[in-house]
Amino acid sequence: MKKLLAAVAAAAFAAMLACAAPAARADTYPSRPIRLVVPLAPGGSADVLGRLIAQKLSEKYGQSVIVENRPGVGGNIGAENVARSEPDGYSLLFGTIGIHSTYKIYPNLKYDPSRDLQPVVLLAELPNVLVVPANSELTDTRAVIAEGKAHPNTLFFGSAGFGSSTHMAGELFKYQSHAAISHIPYKGSGPALTDLVGGRLQLMFENLPTALPLIKSGQLRALAVTSPTRAPSLPDVPTIAEDGLPGYAFTAWFTIAAPAHTPEAIVAKLNRDIREIMLSKDMQAKLADLGVTPVPGDRDVKATATFIAGETRTFSQMIQAAHLTAR
């Protein structure tokens, strides 16, 4: 009987420790530097916002938050790296719509984003903007559609990679307008924008934060924004729906994610702390300059997962209907 009682007591103690371990880790988290993987090339919107979040988290936690760019396969190289990392909160992912909701464009991924990643928090949403080189003869959305129909596949639009927001915005445009424009994927927006400014591309549906400095400097010309309403930072630029394609609307968004099975207490802490950062007064001017709108403050972990699930259903249907496959 004594042996049995001892065994029961030992099992109960082990269970108590197992339950307490995640909480204990959350109480001391973070106790060492955090790695934030931005899965796209330097220079794009994800990189700009990711580094800003890293700086603010570092200040809040008193620990280094090291940004690591790992571009490739529409962000899935970096995302898979995080998904396979230790689920302890020290490897985080700057997530995108391309990773969380349009991944079915890649039929042969070696991981499952919906199963292997834990969304932590929805950071912000932003419009994309249809931009052309400064000397382009294309003057508005109607002209792009007309040219795409009159001379099929002679217009090329670049993107940050298959499944990225810059790709999906263009594919939705093609799907709704029936304009035959061709897609060229890059390993991030930076190199694509370089080719656009240089005239080696004709179009991009670029995230507004990244395109804005090039628009203001005169290197690119904005034709229209993809959002349902005009962007405050470009009040004179119409929406695509106003400018020739009624009913069109597309908004990109960003997240922070962690490997699946990261302790719930750590995920909840990160969610609270990052939402606090995004909604802080000193961040508002920076976000406005970037053309980024922080999401409402009530987006906890559960609400974030619900939102992403809805977006995934929507884009999966479009990918299937348009027969889109990364190649």
pLDDT at 47 over 50: yes
The predicted model gives 38-48 an average pLDDT of: 83
Residues 78, 143, single domain; the answer is no
CB atoms under 10 Å from CB of 242, counted, come to 15
- pLDDT-based confidence at residue 262 (cuts at 50, 70, 90): very high
Residue 293: predicted pLDDT: 86
Residues 227, 298, single domain; the answer is no
pLDDT at 103 over 80: yes
How many structural domains are present in the chain? 2
- pLDDT-based confidence at residue 24 (cuts at 50, 70, 90): very low
Residues 308, 261, single domain; the answer is yes
Of 233, 251, 269, the domain-final residue: 251
Residues 49, 108, single domain; the answer is yes
DSSP string, 96-158: EHHHHTSGGG-TT-SS-HHHHEEEEEEEEEEEEEEEEETT-S--SHHHHHHHHHHSTT--EEE
Domain annotation covers residue 15:
no
Domain annotation covers residue 167:
yes
CB atoms under 10 Å from CB of 47, counted, come to 22
Residues 117, 140, single domain; the answer is no
Distance CA 128, CA 81 (A): 27
- Tens digits of per-residue pLDDT, 114-139? 999 999 999 999 899 999 999 999 99
Distance CA 266, CA 118 (A): 11
Q: Which residues constitute the domain of residue 81?
A: 34-125+252-322
pTM of the model as a whole: 0.79
Residues 119, 260, single domain; the answer is yes
- pLDDT-based confidence at residue 12 (cuts at 50, 70, 90): low
Of 251, 276, 311, the domain-final residue: 251
Strands (E), 171-295: 182-185, 203-207, 220-225, 251-259, 293-294
Taking Cα atoms as reference points, which of 321, 317, 315, 322 lies closest to residue 74? 315
Domain annotation covers residue 60:
yes
Residues 278, 213, single domain; the answer is no
pLDDT at 75 over 50: yes
Of 251, 283, 313, the domain-final residue: 251
- Tens digits of per-residue pLDDT, 168-198? 999 999 999 999 999 999 878 889 999 999 9
Structure tokens given for 194: 């370089």
Residue 23: predicted pLDDT: 47
Distance CA 269, CA 272 (A): 5
Supply φ then ψ for residue 141, to 5 degrees: -60, -40
Residues 184, 233, single domain; the answer is yes
